[in-house]
Amino acid sequence: MNNLIKGEKHDWEMVIGLEIHAQVKSNSKLFSSSSTKFGSSPNSQVSLVDAAMPGMLPVINKYCVEQAVKTGVGLNAKINNYSVFDRKNYFYADLPQGYQISQYKYPIVGEGKVTIDFKDGTSKDIRIVRLHLEQDAGKSLHDQNPSKTYVDLNRSGVALMEIVSEPDIRTPDEAGMYISKIRSILMYLDTCDGNMQEGSLRADVNISVRKPGYEYGTRCEIKNLNSIKFIKQAINYEAKRQIEILESGGSIEQNTMLFNTSTGKTRPMRNKEEAHDYRYFPDPDLLPLEISEEEIGKIKSSIPELPDELKNKFIETYKLSNYDASVLTAEKQTSDYFNETINSDPELKNYAKIVVNWITSELFSLLNKNNQDLNNSPVSPENLGQLIKLISTNEISGKIAKDVLEDMFSSGKTARQIVDEKGLQQVTDQGEIAKVIDEVIAENPKMVEQYLAGKDKLLGFFVGQAMKLTKGKANPKMLNDILKQKLNKKN
Amino acid sequence: MKIDKNTINKIARLSRIKLDDKESEDYIKDLNSILDWVEQLNEVNTENVEPLSNISSSILPKREDVSKDTNSSEEILENAPDKLEGFFAVPKVVE
């Protein structure tokens, strides 16, 4: 695979690292008991701790700590028995404390790695530097009033896991695959809801360009991207910008950038030299966080099957391709649905590939068309399993099954009900099919002549006519075979 | 380490505190004498000693993940100089 960008004098390589911010899926905030619910009325979920009233003290949420450890295990990372909370100081309207409680020198989780799979069957490891716990900030609305910014502190203090990667990523696509993989792992672990639109998962992108094989160039950081599409767009734009500067003899200034989602361009943030003077120091309000091996062991034993394990299991048990298995396991709801479907009838195991196709193409396209989610699919796994069984036993044809699925989707009826009510059973009676074919042949003597003279394509015409007469219910294979037999006999 | 006029101005700016010339001079003097005093600790050899985050021997207390309905909006906004429909209203900050 060629990952290079063509330049004027030589090719360029992108060097990309991601800092992913994932909100911990918890009921209450990291250091206070306020609710974390999204979309409540402004400032309704703000305790005196979150508002940084004088004298308020933070008390850590045990569950958030466990979720961070769990995530660390899911990222194949080292869990640190000892970690420390620091204050990261900066001045901003949505940060009432004037500092964010974060972890600097001693994070809760150390080095790990995740694997991304390419379509061509190859894969690549992306190394993780660390994962640390920190507070989210409040939300500022800038576009409601020409002279004011409105601040909502509901998000202030919600637990975030910041997951930092090594600069192992080389293309926008790899960046997209990496964040998808992290998202998938988080959702299997149920430590983050993965909702990028609501900002539960967002990323800062560090990017530089270099001549392949040379030292890393100076990097820029693009802040706060909340969709995979924007991440790719921002990387493409920023790499082009940097290459243009370097090729015209300039040098890159290390900078923090913002991405404008409507113009697709990046621009430097202002006040950068002050913004970077964070004056980290250990938070005197919080003791170091110690986790025993025993506690880590207990958390490890609670971890469910992760996408990679499940993928390998699917490949082995159902003889699926690497690609099919990775599509099935990318989202937990998809693999759950597949499991429930295939386990709804013992015989379906032998038709795993058909089950995959019906879920990932037919059902997905219906859900998409109707703007619905697999989680609340009108077709239950059992009902889909029943439909596939009707196909596998030749009771209905695949073509008719598509209509049946649409009917199931809108009416909520089972496949059996629909097939019985509409009389859609496939015609597999040799005699009955033969009778229809005789009819078609008798009605089209000229076509028969042409066919026999070598116009093979006409076979499709006869099939079509016969299908029409049987309302699409004839078994296609039998129809084909008998038709050929009869036509050739005429010769 | 010596605190000079530039350093004191930077610290004041980071802290959002406005100092006049007289105050700056006073703080330079005070801070330097504090730092000089603390610098005596440099005489101690701390090689291979991990930094200490806290001198207490107690264990970080933790809470269960239970959310309390605060419905705090009114109380939280009580001291706000400016507000609108439940939001704090602050001078425009655009980034």
Residues 6+ apart with CB under 8 A from A79: A69, A72, A73, A108, A109, A110, A291, A296
Nearest-5° angle of CA A11, CA A12, CA A13?
130
**Does residue A444 form part of some domain?**
yes
Structure-block tokens of residue A181: 């993989």
Stated pTM of the model: 0.82
Q: A363 - beta bridge partners?
A: none
Residue A57: closest C-alpha in chain B: B61
**Does residue A292 form part of some domain?**
no
CB contact under 8 A, A47 and B92: no
- Buried b or exposed e, range A86-105, using 16+ CB within 10 angstroms: bbbbbebbbbbbebbbbbbe
Residues 6+ apart with CB under 8 A from A289: A60, A65, A82, A83, A84, A85, A108, B60
Q: pLDDT value at position A276?
A: 66
Length of chain B: 95
Residues 6+ apart with CB under 8 A from A452: A487, A490, A491
Structure-block tokens of residue A429: 């009676």
**Does residue A258 form part of some domain?**
yes
For chain B, the straight-line distance linking the first and the last C-alpha, in angstroms and rounded, comes to 35
State the CB neighbour count (10 A cutoff) for residue A230: 20
- Residue A251 Cα distances to A28, A195, A243, A244, A470, angstroms: 46, 38, 10, 10, 73
Length of chain A: 491
- Do A384 and A474 share a domain, yes or no? no
Query: Could you tell me the fold of the domain covering B5-43?
Result: Histone, subunit A (1.10.20)
B62 min Cα distance to partner chain A (Å) = 5
**Does residue A38 form part of some domain?**
yes
- Buried b or exposed e, range B71-93, using 16+ CB within 10 angstroms: ebbeebbeeeeebeebbbbbeee
Q: Which of A400, A422, A444 is the last residue of a domain?
A: A422
Q: Which residues of A touch B68 (CB under 8 A)?
A: 28, 33-35, 47
**Does residue A298 form part of some domain?**
no
From its phi and psi, is residue A42 left (phi > 0), alpha (psi between -120 and 50) or beta? beta
Q: Which residues of A touch B85 (CB under 8 A)?
A: 42
CB contact under 8 A, B76 and A89: no
B56 min Cα distance to partner chain A (Å) = 8
Which range marks the domain in which residue A472 is found? Answer: 430-490
Residues 6+ apart with CB under 8 A from B75: none
A242 min Cα distance to partner chain B (Å) = 22
- Do A331 and A414 share a domain, yes or no? yes
Q: Which residues of A touch B88 (CB under 8 A)?
A: 43, 93, 150-153
Q: Which of A422, A441, A462 is the last residue of a domain?
A: A422
CB contact under 8 A, B92 and A149: yes
> What one-character DSSP code corresponds to residue A214?
S
Q: Which residues of A touch B7 (CB under 8 A)?
A: none
Residues 6+ apart with CB under 8 A from B50: none
**Does residue A3 form part of some domain?**
no
Q: Which residues of B touch A37 (CB under 8 A)?
A: 67
Q: pLDDT value at position B16?
A: 85
**Does residue A210 form part of some domain?**
yes
CA distance A87 to A278: 8
State the CB neighbour count (10 A cutoff) for residue A299: 19
B4 min Cα distance to partner chain A (Å) = 18
CA distance B94 to A292: 45
A338 min Cα distance to partner chain B (Å) = 33
Q: Which residues of B touch A274 (CB under 8 A)?
A: 13-14
- Do A324 and A439 share a domain, yes or no? no
CB contact under 8 A, B95 and A91: no
- Do A273 and A327 share a domain, yes or no? no
Of A362, A363, A357, the closest CA to residue A323 belongs to A357
Q: SS3 sequence, B20-39?
A: CHHHHHHHHHHHHHHHHHHH
- Do A315 and A402 share a domain, yes or no? yes
Domain count, chain A: 3
CB contact under 8 A, A288 and B53: yes
CB contact under 8 A, B92 and A145: yes
User: Cβ distance A123 to A327 under 8 Å?
Assistant: no
Residue A49: closest C-alpha in chain B: B76
Task: Find the mean pLDDT for residues B63-72.
Answer: 89
Q: SS3 sequence, A219-241?
A: CEEEEEECCHHHHHHHHHHHHHH
Structure-block tokens of residue A103: 């972890």
CA distance A63 to A27: 9
Phi, psi angle pair for A123, to nearest 5°: -145, 170
| Preferred mutation among B50, B73, B94 to probe A, highest tally of A CBs within 10 A | B73
Interface A-B, measured as beta-carbon pairs within 8 A, has a size of 142
Q: pLDDT value at position A161?
A: 98
- Do A266 and A246 share a domain, yes or no? yes
Q: Predicted confidence band at B95 (pLDDT cuts at 50, 70, 90)?
A: low
Q: pLDDT value at position A460?
A: 87
Nearest-5° angle of CA A289, CA A98, CA B57?
25
Q: Which residues of B touch A142 (CB under 8 A)?
A: 92-94
Over its length of 491 residues, how does chain A's per-residue pLDDT go in tens digits?
468 888 888 999 999 999 999 999 999 999 999 999 999 999 999 999 999 999 999 999 999 999 999 999 999 999 999 999 999 998 889 999 999 999 999 999 999 999 998 888 788 999 999 999 999 999 999 888 889 999 999 999 999 999 999 999 999 999 999 999 999 999 999 999 999 999 999 999 999 999 999 999 999 999 999 999 999 999 999 999 999 999 999 999 988 899 999 999 999 886 544 556 889 999 999 999 999 999 999 999 999 999 999 999 999 999 998 888 988 999 889 999 999 999 999 999 999 999 999 999 999 999 999 999 898 899 999 999 999 999 888 888 888 899 999 999 999 899 988 988 887 777 778 888 888 888 888 888 888 888 888 888 888 888 888 888 888 888 888 888 888 888 887 76
From its phi and psi, is residue A12 left (phi > 0), alpha (psi between -120 and 50) or beta? beta
Residue B53: closest C-alpha in chain A: A282
Q: A130 - beta bridge partners?
A: A164
- Do A248 and A397 share a domain, yes or no? no
In chain B, where the domains are located? 5-43
**Does residue A294 form part of some domain?**
no
